[in-house]
Amino acid sequence: MQQGDKYCSGCGALLEAREAAGRLRPVCSQCGRVVFYDPKVVAVTVVERAGQVLMVRRAGDPGYGLWSVPGGYVDQGEVVEAAAAREVAEETGLLVKIDGLVGLFSEAGNPVIVAAFTGVETGGALQAGPETLAVDFFDLDALPPLAFPRDSRMLQRWRQNRE
């Protein structure tokens, strides 16, 4: 059972962990309503310049001080590709046009689903945004310490798609 609300949104009674729909979930102790937590969707963009990939050094947890592909949460009602381009601009100062899908990535026990895209620079100036300590381009064979295991899997898939 994930952490979240303590009370039922239908009747206000206390939620408790019970077996429901094949796993342990929050269930209302009075009315029996099962709570399903939605996954979070993250959109990231692999941007290449002269054979190197754009990376951001994270200014927040998880992964403070480590490097990742630029990206972030998709806002409710936002088009995923628009979120991917927005996050690149916010974190790196670069403007990009989303031009392909690398893939979808998830991990057991992690509520985050990552939609990874490719993007082509269209403008802007490379500079760290408020959520990043630094931004730079790196060779795939000389990446800095990564914040998330999925980043290496994502970049491997991106490399395979290019070949």
User: Which domains are present in the chain?
Assistant: 1-37 (2.20.70), 40-162 (3.90.79.10)
More confident residue, 58 or 61: 58
Q: List, for residues 81-121, the tens digit of each pLDDT value.
A: 999 999 999 999 999 999 999 999 998 888 899 999 999 99
Q: Which residues contact 150 (CB under 8 A, 6 or more apart)?
A: 105, 107, 114
DSSP string across 60-74:
SSSSTT-EE-SEEEP
Measured from the Cβ of residue 17, the count of other Cβ atoms closer than 10 Å reads 10
pLDDT of residue 5: 79
User: Could you tell me the pLDDT band of residue 3, with boundaries at 50, 70 and 90?
Assistant: low
Cα–Cα distance measured from residue 38 to residue 40, given in angstroms and rounded to the nearest whole number: 7
